């Protein structure tokens, strides 16, 4: 099983290197396991499928052997559903445990991947849009549209990607708790960063720059 000690080489948790001077970490988090299992791995649909098979098997057998005798026929389907659901939850736990989302004053960073760990850096000047999908539980997904970056692979990013956007994958902070608050932190940080003026020192004509 993954352990945070596996990432002891990180100078800062979730980042491949220390942030440069002037850059501050504003928030760090990871997906909520139950939400990730339900939304990215269809846990509810998978379990529901096995329950439906169990009901169908009992219903189809009741006419021949009676309801009481037919009821145990549901057990294999329910056990199978429980096992498959447990596997899905286990995968979601591993993926969540090995993930660190980071928002700084300059970028969004995503350390993702269980078998193959990748750290994705998204400076604010490359993020063109951020969309929040907020759920009633308070968890939510923030999808990021980017430009000027290398082509991103949907399979490499999954499940940290906006669902079904395969042609132009959008990295996403998936199933994070308190998603509304995190979206506000991101919006404020990006707005502040983009509005900062760029100041360059001009050397007067005819003058020689000091060495």
Domain boundaries, the chain: 36-94, 102-194
Mean per-residue pLDDT of the chain: 86
Q: What pLDDT was estimated at residue 105?
A: 93
Please give the angle made by the CA atoms of 19, 23 and 28, to the nearest 5 degrees.
75
Mean pLDDT on 93-109: 95
Q: Which long-range contacts (CB under 8 A, 24 or more apart) does 20-24 make?
A: 22/105, 23/104, 23/105, 23/106, 23/107, 24/104, 24/105
Residue 125 has pLDDT above 60, yes or no: yes
Q: Is the pLDDT of residue 208 over 70?
A: no
Please provide the CATH number assigned to the domain covering 102-194: 2.30.29
pLDDT of residue 149: 56
Q: What angle do CA 111, 90, 109 make, to 5 degrees?
A: 10
CA distances, 68 to each of 31, 55, 73 (Å): 43, 13, 10
Residue 16 scores a pLDDT above 90: no
Average pLDDT for residues 141-149, to the nearest whole number? 85
Residue 44: what are its φ and ψ, rounded to 5°?
A: -60, -40
Q: At 201, list the tokens.
A: 């020192």
How far apart are the C-alpha atoms of 146 and 133, rounded to whole Å?
17
Whether the Cβ atoms of residue 31 and residue 176 lie closer than 8 Å to each other? yes
Is the pTM for the entire model greater than 0.85? no
**Average pLDDT, integer, range 158-173:** 91
Sheet holding 140-146, edge to edge: 127-134, 140-146, 172-176
Q: HEC profile for 99-144?
A: CEEEEECCEEEEEECCCCCEEEEEEHHHEEEEEEEECCCCCEEEEE
Structure-token match 């991103």, residue found: 152
pLDDT on residue 150:
59
More confident site: 186 or 16: 186
Per-residue pLDDT at 187 exceeds 50: yes
């Amino acid at each position: 099983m993954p352990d945070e000690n596996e990432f002891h080489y990180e100078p800062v948790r979730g980042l491949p290197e220390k942030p440069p001077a002037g850059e501050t970490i504003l928030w760090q988090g990871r997906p909520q396991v139950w939400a990730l299992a339900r939304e990215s791995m269809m846990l509810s649909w998978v379990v529901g499928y096995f329950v439906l098979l169990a009901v169908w098997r009992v219903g189809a057998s009741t006419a021949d052997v009676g309801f009481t005798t037919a009821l145990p026929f549901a057990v294999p389907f329910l056990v199978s559903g429980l096992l498959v659901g447990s596997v899905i939850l286990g995968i979601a736990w591993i993926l969540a445990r090995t993930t660190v989302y980071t928002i700084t004053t300059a970028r969004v960073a995503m350390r993702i991947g269980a078998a193959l760990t990748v750290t994705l850096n998204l400076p604010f000047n490359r993020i063109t849009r951020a969309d929040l999908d907020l759920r009633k539980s308070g968890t939510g997904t923030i999808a990021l549209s980017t430009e000027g970056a290398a082509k991103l692979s949907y399979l490499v990013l999954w499940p940290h990607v906006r669902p079904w956007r395969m042609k132009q994958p959008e990295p996403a902070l998936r199933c994070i708790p308190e998603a509304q608050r995190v979206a506000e932190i991101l919006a404020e940080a990006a707005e502040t960063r983009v509005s900062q003026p760029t100041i360059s020192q001009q050397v007067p004509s005819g003058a020689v720059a000091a060495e």
